[in-house]
Chains A and B, each alone.
Chain A
Amino acid sequence: MSAATTAAICTLISLLGTIGLAASDPKRLRRKAVRTLRLARIGFVLLTLAPGVWLAATLQGVGFLLWIGASAVLGWVVAALASRATASRRKYLA
């Protein structure tokens, strides 16, 4: 498997974690984090970071750099889309 393919798979896994973190963000949802939500968020953090830790631990430099760069860009995109989704939901409920 090429370095780019490995990095793409790792980025997708991290993207799932990032989406989970955005979906359960108590500040954005204006909801206090209860214990189950906190546990879920810890799981999402692990899901986001684990692929990068694995790439670094296995000394896959190219894969690690691709992963950290792509995850940062996709994280920004997720933050923007999550904010948009929240705004439309609030508009609908109002």
Chain B
Amino acid sequence: MIRLPQQETKTLVAIHGWAGTALGLLLYAVIVTGTVAVFAQEIRVWSSGALQSESPLHAPIDATLRRLAGQTPEQFRDDVTLRVTTARNVSAFFHSHVKDEAGQITEKGVVWQVAPDGRVISRRDATRANVFAQDTDGVLGTFFVDLHVRLHLPNPYGLVLTGVLGLAMLAAAVSGLLMHRHLFTDLFTLRGRVRMVGLRDLHTVAASWTLPHAFVLAFTGAFFSFATSIGVPLLAMVAFGGDRAALVETVVGAKEKPDPRPADGVNLDRVLADARARSGGTLISANVDHWGRADAHITVRSGPRDGALGGVTLAYDGATGAFVGEKPSLGTKPSLGNTVFELMGPLHFGNFAGWWSKAVWFALGFASAYVTWSGLGLWLRRRDDRPAWRAFGRVIAWTGAGLPFSMAVSAAAFFLALPSGATPWWTPAGFLIAAAIALLPALVLPAERVAPLLFGATGLVLLALPIIRIASGGPGWMAAFNASQHVIPALDTFVVIGGMICFVCAATALRRTAEGAGFAATMTPAE
């Protein structure tokens, strides 16, 4: 129990309420999209219908790469970056470092998309900014991630905004912890929905159980947003006089002395096999610096092995294939700062133990979204006698239930546009059209009927998604099982279960409203 003087408690209540109300709707949007984005990689596989489940970097690639190097203009053969695409092909980006129109150093070259059997699928001129532009299969997952990371606002404004939202969440969590006098004794106290005190219980019990998670997510989220948008430029300006290259060299480590003599280079398949054995995880990407030179350098990034929180980056000599060592993300040797930095990702993304950790992080995200929405509802019901707050109630209903509806419709729009290849346009367009449609009931219907109606509509779209997916050319369950691709049936099942839950929630809310336990009945200002 935390006992504070009455005046301080009042101040904390004001901070908690206003921090939540002023930014609550945007925070809710970031949390809901983040909850879905936990499964971003699985959503990419599910939506693209990729049947290959094994990383293509586990298959032989060296001969194909040498063939492609021969077909790539010599000025772009300095470095090559290998990544796994959504459709489980390899994207090989041969590039050089050149100055763009703004005088900034960027990567420019040719990107090849290669199937696991060595077949070339596409070839395109690219820069670092648009190297993934052709990955139209992964648009749906990327759309949700971008919505979560920067609310689709241009850089750096979107990142700064989500960083501020992270701080607001942290302020709400700390103030909520301090002002809640009976944190442990009230962990199981839920006194129904009929009275205002019962509604407050729903908010505080969910918030109390998910408090550690709220702290972690708010802190790591704010860190990721501010680190790239403000932290790095500020550090470069203060400590390196604006020289970002010097900053990167200090943080990542200085490059070795150049040796431009031509060299045949090591067989990359041998290096990748060694990296796979050493890391114990799935290979995600590989990079060859100074391709075909005596000072060639190879780095291979892997996902986490069983029991490890994060993956590793392994460094090899590109000429001999000798293992150089494990490369920290920050600096050149292991440090406490690097350990803390490397913990941030797994703690925020929940991707350290496959489906298990993702399912837990998804559930915690759902609980956090519930805390935000119930908090907004609670704040509003205490001010229900004022017309301006009543109008805000409609906005909350529209955002709260309209966001999941719009996300479901954007997925449907993605599938419908998949055969034509117009997914980059139709996925956000579907989202915006659905948001506009959801506005109609919010303007016309009584406030307490808006959310049930939109949740019902979300349920309908979710139930239809697997059918739309298969109708638009996606693989069926038998084909997926035969290819050992379990992501597709698993996500189909989750989507259907989600649809049924939406229907049950909508029916329950409508029943409660009809019984008189809805919006008006909970107005007991004396409490």
Contact = CB atoms under 8 A, between A and B. Distances in A.
Interface of A: 2-4, 7-8, 21-22, 25, 27-28, 60-62, 65-66, 68-70, 72-73, 75-76, 78-80, 82-83, 87
Contact of A69 (B191, B206, B361): B361
B357 interface: yes
A79 B356 contact: no
Contacts, number: 84
B356 A60 contact: no
A27 B186 contact: yes
Majority secondary structure of chain A interface residues (helix, strand, loop or mixed): helix
A22 B209 CA distance: 13
B70 interface: no
B356 A66 contact: yes
A76 to B, nearest CB: 4
23 contacts: A4-B357, A7-B356, A8-B356, A21-B187, A22-B188, A27-B185, A27-B188, A27-B189, A28-B188, A60-B307, A61-B309, A62-B352, A65-B352, A65-B357, A68-B212, A69-B350, A72-B209, A72-B367, A73-B210, A73-B360, A76-B206, A83-B191, A83-B192
Contacts of A73: 209-210, 360, 363-364, 367
Interface in B5-47: none
B97 interface: no
Interface string B309-350: 100000000000000000000000000000000000011001
Contacts of A79: 187-188, 190, 205, 209
B360 A62 contact: no
Contact of A25 (B188, B206, B353, B354): B188
B298 to A, nearest CB: 28
A27 B357 CA distance: 33
Nearest to B211: A72
A4 B209 contact: no
Nearest to B360: A69
Interface of B: 185-192, 205-206, 209-210, 212-213, 306-309, 346-347, 350, 352-354, 356-357, 360-361, 363-364, 367
A3 B360 contact: no
Nearest to A45: B184
B423 to A, nearest CB: 33
A62 B213 contact: no
A69 B185 CA distance: 20
Contact of B213 (A2, A66, A69): A69
Given A83-B188, A83-B190, A2 B212 contact: no
A72 to B, nearest CB: 5
A78 to B, nearest CB: 8
B307 A72 contact: no
Given A22-B188, A87-B192, 16 more contacts: A2-B306, A3-B306, A62-B353, A65-B347, A66-B356, A66-B357, A69-B213, A69-B361, A69-B363, A70-B360, A75-B187, A79-B190, A82-B188, A83-B188, A83-B190, A83-B191
Contacts of A28: 188-189
A2 B186 CA distance: 35
Nearest to B187: A79
A43 to B, nearest CB: 16
A3 B353 contact: yes
Contact of A75 (B209, B353, B354): B209
Contact of A4 (B210, B354, B361): B354
A37 B362 CA distance: 35
A7 B364 CA distance: 16
Nearest to B186: A27
Nearest to B359: A70
Contacts of B354: 4
A2 B354 CA distance: 12
